[in-house]
Structure formats: C-alpha cells, structure tokens
Amino acid sequence: MMLNNFETDSIFTPEQVLENRGRVAIFIDGSNLFYAALQLGIEIDYTKLLYRLTGGSRLLRSFFYTGVDRTNEKQQGFLLWMRRNGYRVIAKDLVQLPDGSKKANLDVEIAVDMMALVDSYDTAVLVSGDGDLAYAVNSVSYRGVRVEVVSLRSMTSDSLINVSDRYIDLEAIKEDIQKTPRQSYPYRPLSGIGFLEDPRTSDGHLEIQE
C-alpha cells in the first residue's frame, strides 16, 4: 500500500528518506511550476530548487519541460542558462490557439521520459499537479520506482497524489526555493506567457511581474 504524506512532517527521519531514495531523476513541468509560483507570490531560484529536490541524493538527471518561442532571444538565453546549470531542457514549440493564446502541452514527453529511464533511477521527483500524469506515475511505481510529487496543493489533482509515494506541497518548501531580493531572472520560461524586457543578470533568476 502506498503512503502519501500530506503533513509537512514526514514519519521518516531525514536520514531514512535519503537512504531510501537511491538514484533520483527529476521531472519538472515548467508551466505548472510557474503558475504555482505566481499563486505563492514567490520567484523561483532554480539553483536552490535543484538542490532542494535532490536533497543530497545521487542525481541521475533533472529534466525541465517548457513551451518555447524560438524567435524569442531572451527566452533562449534563459534556457541556455538552465542547460548550463544542471538542467536538461526539453523544449516544444508553442501552438497558437483559436482564442489567440499560445500553449504547449508536454505531458506526453514527461510520461515517455519517465518510462524510458525507469531502469536507471530509484526515485522520481515529479514537479507537477497535472492529473494527466497519474497513469505514468502509477506505471513507473509498478516497476519498483518511488515517486515523489511536488506541487501546490490547490493546483494538484487528487488522482496524482493518490498514486504517489510522497506528496510535498510547494507551500511547505517555498522558503527553500525562492530567490533573494537582489536576484532576478529576465525571462519567463513558460508557455503562453510574455517575456520580460529587463537586462539579463549574471545569476539567472526569474523575476515575476504581476
């Protein structure tokens, strides 16, 4: 029977959690994370995020999935920073919808990568609340993989939580992953969102304008 931790305090000690995690693979739904950060009123420090999600375990790879406009040089600069700072970026061209908005759905890419690498990692950390990924999570679980879902509770499908081994609310770890006031990203890495025009800083942290 799978165990879901809805509380901020785990029944495991930190040492037990790390010992049981083995090799870790991280799968980040960039769009979902961005909107969660907006809801929390924070700006993500992607270096801190990677450190927090890895948690001292052996990292196999960290994937970042995002929709892109390949003509947007500022966005390309952000993605270049991500690639050079520990992330494997999986980009998909934005598609314009009838209402004029743009979107790129990367659920299939996330699911395929989780399954393709299932024999190479022991713990999957999925940063998304999308219930469409529940089937993939359940499938890798049956292959013996431990799955941790990290997302904002108000944006997370119950079906996804129910098939995970551990659920972590972004609200509970926001202090660990938010940038400091002096840090800023000039880009928004998500689908359907305009990109900021501020000059790029050297540390590559996202600045959200409301």
Task: State the pLDDT at residue 206.
Answer: 40
pLDDT at residue 92, rounded to an integer:
87
Q: Amino acid identity, residue 74? A: K
The pLDDT score that the predictor gives to residue 29 is 95
pTM as predicted: 0.77
147 vs 62: CA distance, rounded Å: 14
Angle ∠(183,189,193) on CA atoms, nearest 5? 110
DSSP string, 155-207: G--HHHHHT-SEEEEHHHHHHHHBPPTT---S---STT-----SPPPTT----
The tokens describing 133, both together, are 């990924």
Compute mean pLDDT per 10 residues along the chain, 210 residues long, and list them.
Answer: 47 58 95 92 93 93 90 84 94 75 83 96 96 96 95 94 95 91 54 36 39
Q: How far apart are CA 124 and CA 45, in angstroms?
A: 21
Domains and CATH numbers, the chain: 19-176 (3.40.50.1010)
C-alpha–C-alpha distance, residues 81 and 102, integer Å: 23
What does the DSSP assignment read for 18-82?
HHHH-EEEEEEEHHHHHHHHHHHT--B-HHHHHHHHHTTSEEEEEEEEEEE-TT-HHHHHHHHHH
